[in-house]
Amino acid sequence: MSRETRKLEHIRLALAQRTHECGGFEDIRFVHQSLPESDLSETALETRIGELTFSSPILINAMTGGADKTKEINRKLAIAAAETGVAMAVGSQRAAIVDPALIHTYSVVREVNPQGIIAANLGADASVEDAIRAVEMIQADLLQLHVNVPQELIMPEGDRSFRGIRKRIAEIVKYSPVPVIVKEVGFGMSYETYKELIDIGVRIIDVGGRGGTNFIRIENERRKHRRFVSIETWGQSAAISLLEAGPFLDRVDVIASGGIRNALDVAKSLSLGASVVGIAGSFLRILQEEGLEALIDEITHLHEELRVIMTILGCNTISELRDVPLVITGFTADWCHARTID
Ligand code: FNR
């Protein structure tokens, strides 16, 4: 099967996925306070990652590129990003590295949105040269390197060996012209992984938690038989992944993603320490089923609702959200109590 056909199948199957799961945020609750010293008109949505200032904490996360149909999706996502001031990532640029005739399916995002924050994307097995080409291809501000071991193992055409992965990430971090984000794609991150990534110089991590788009289910759907059903719920939710990042928040910027459904999930993510919140599958669904205007409306409303939540909580800035009390219940609380770390 060609890479192009596989990518189109991923989109079709991601759109067909109707999950009732979420990123674990049902276990996280804010405590209502009745006397907040806040003013809706003064709420500011700016946030920072390293030296970069984002005008919104929302990121349209990596999805696509590499074919005419997916170029059109990238073009529309980039218009939505430019209109609403949110950051955006393209999908894996491997296709255009292999065949430069496909570069236009990614670079369209920079043409449409010359001033916006845009992230390039490759697998963590990329070479330094490929990483630099991916960044230059779209004049990216950031480079995402995705790690997706469970998905690769289930894909008939996927990788089978992951030896040397840390060394390759370390090399790219060292030579990349822009800051590097290491991101999961729906299996979440652990204390141990954060520690290993920090040790090799990574300073931005996207948790890519379980509960949203499920790539084990997508790959299982592509198989006629011999499906890997027992591992369909593999991994940590975004909420648990953020809690696992707790001890490292003074050393890394964390992006929350995976099953983020609404403004309350965004607020909870920011409160748990994320600087930015990525949304992929649900934005794609709105774009493909309801159109570009509906996606712009959705992002505009997310901003509005986030401002309302911040005002209720007495916060004027995104960073103040980190100081509000949270109550953790259910499976997420059980996880925190049961988890032992050496
Ligand atoms: C993705 N995702 C993804 N991630 C990545 O790093 N490179 C990629 O090429 C892709 N491709 C891709 C295609 C499609 C159709 C979807 C829906 C997603 C993963 C994505 O960025 C994100 O990590 C997960 O989808 C989890 O977030 P959501 O979908 O639960 O918000």
| DSSP assignment string, 154-209 | HSTTS----TTHHHHHHHHHHH-SS-EEEEESSS---HHHHHHHHHTT--EEE---
324/60 Cα distance (integer angstroms): 26
Q: Which of 146, 152, 181 to mutate to test the pocket of ligand 1 (most atoms within 8 A of CB)?
A: 146
> What pLDDT score was predicted for residue 20?
67
The alpha carbon of 312 and the centre of ligand 1 are apart by a number of angstroms equal to 32
Q: What is the Cα gyration radius of the chain?
A: 19
**Using a 6 Å cutoff on CB, does residue 268 contact ligand 1?**
no
317/47 Cα distance (integer angstroms): 8
Q: Residue 220's Cα: distance from chain center in Å?
A: 22
Mean pLDDT in runs of 10 for the chain (342 residues)? 83 84 92 96 97 97 95 98 98 97 98 98 97 98 97 92 96 98 98 98 98 92 86 96 97 98 98 98 97 98 98 98 97 95 76
Q: Which of 121, 213, 260, 287 to mutate to test the pocket of ligand 1 (most atoms within 8 A of CB)?
A: 213
ipTM of predicted complex: 0.99
Closest C-alpha residue for ligand 1 atom 26: 258
**Using a 6 Å cutoff on CB, does residue 180 contact ligand 1?**
no
- DSSP states along 71-116: HHHHHHHHHHHHHHT-EEE----HHHHH-GGGTHHHHHHHHH-TTS
Closest C-alpha residue for ligand 1 atom 2: 63
Residue 228: which H helix or E strand, with range? none
Q: Which of 20, 61, 260 to mutate to test the pocket of ligand 1 (most atoms within 8 A of CB)?
A: 61
**Computed from CA positions of residues 217, 109, 254, 30, in that sequence, does the dihedral angle turn out positive or negative?**
negative
> What pLDDT score was predicted for residue 156?
87
* SS3 state at 288: helix
> What pLDDT score was predicted for residue 251?
97
**Using a 6 Å cutoff on CB, does residue 306 contact ligand 1?**
no
Length of the chain, in residues: 342
pTM of the model: 0.97
